Structure 1
Amino acid sequence: MSRLIVGVTGASGSALALEVLRQLSDAAVETHLVVSRGAHASIRHELGETGLSLLEAAAARVHAPENLAAPIASGSFSAGGMIVVPCSMRSLAAIAHGLGDNLLTRAADVTLKEKRRLVVAPREAPLHEGHLDAMLRLARMGAVIAPPVPPFYTRPATIEAMIGEIAARLVNWAGIDPGEHMTRWGETPPPLR
């Protein structure tokens, strides 16, 4: 069975995190979830009072963000990589500079040092030079910088369809086949959904 770490930060995009977890579950991937303390308010605002419970229920294992002794804090933990979705600029900068000041940023740092796939979905606009500098730094270390940009050629008719397509791309960039969740260019365009 494959294993991936999923980090959720305080940026907007909790629905993307939930869909990523669901698609990884569909692909029989064992997920290890860590949610930053800053994410709690965003999750509650975007997914409702039970939002955190929905995320936790969709994951195989849940780790507290302050638990730096968790298995995912070590390079000896066998995982195929990590997806940080959504990724706040604060967390992105911490990862880019190797701060490891909480379990999420430590797990991302371990992912980079072990040369595993790290996919970050930064959620901010517009971007200033500091944001771009941190993204460039991460890209040079091997991370995949994947802002959640909708693939309009899939003709999503609902926000759920758009979230599903974006999540499928994040899963794909993490090295997991998202199966029918992803519409690929050149295939018959899907019906409006």
Structure 2
Amino acid sequence: MKILVCISGASGVNLGLKLYNLIPSEHERFLVLSENAKTVFEKEENIFLDNDIAAAPASGSFGIDITFVVPCSMNTLAKIALGITDNLITRSAQVAIKEKKKLIIAPREMPFSEIYLEHMLKLSRFQNVIIAPPVLAYYNNPKSIEDIEMFMIGKWFDLAGIENNLFKRWK
């Protein structure tokens, strides 16, 4: 599978990078960084900058199977919900929607305003779009931030159909 991870400038950019790094090696992976997120990371392989609207993930013919937006800022969420494609992240999300490919969005804000909730509801009505904020659980008995992150990433992988043993499952 071809997997695209888009990281917007919301709090939690390290969680998006960790998700990207944990994608099993049998999958081809690509990373898009927003202008704000790129200040956090150094350049790595298969990384596109958000202002490169002509990069491969901007086209449905490139064949991305799963797109993650982790974390997703409320600005990016609104643009995706309204069909605004002014950067590579929003364009890639629109490609996933139009191509009926899985799009997993992890909104990072609290509390959610009515406007944000309306955008999430609108997007969740598309069969291929999953709204999955980074929400922790206690049944896996987390002992560290790492445990909490592994739980969230494992749940996102579950939603994407990526096998994993990143967290203790419910018994």
Equivalent residues in 2 for 1:35-54, closer than 5 Å:
35-40=33-38, 43=40, 52-53=41-42
Structure 2 contact 151–166 (Cα < 8 Å) conserved: yes
- Number of aligned residues: 170
Q: Does 2:148 align with 1:162?
A: yes
Could you tell me the TM-score, scaled by structure 2's length?
0.93
Greater helix share, structure number: 1
Could you tell me the TM-score, scaled by structure 1's length?
0.83
Structure 2 contact 35–49 (Cα < 8 Å) conserved: no
Question: Which stretch of the first structure deviates more once superposed, 166-175 or 79-88?
Answer: 166-175
Cα distance, 1:27 vs. partner?
4.8
Structure 1 contact 150–166 (Cα < 8 Å) conserved: yes
Partner residue in 1 for 2:11: 12
Extract unaligned runs of 5+ from structure 2. none
Q: Does 2:136 align with 1:150?
A: yes
1:43-69 deviation per Cα after TM superposition (whole angstroms, max 9, x unaligned): 3xxxxxxxx02xx54xx5111211111
Moved over 4 A (4+): none
Structure 1 counterpart of 2:91, one-letter code: R
Partner residue in 2 for 1:118: 103
Query: Quick one: percent identity of the two aligned structures?
Result: 39
Extract unaligned runs of 5+ from structure 1. 44-51, 187-193
Greater relative CO, 1 or 2 (CA 8 Å, sep 6+): 1
CA RMSD of aligned residues (A): 1.4
Which one of 158, 174, 177 corresponds to residue 160 of structure 2?
174
Query: C-alpha separation between the residues in 2 aligned to 1:168 and 1:4?
Result: 15
Partner residue in 2 for 1:94: 79
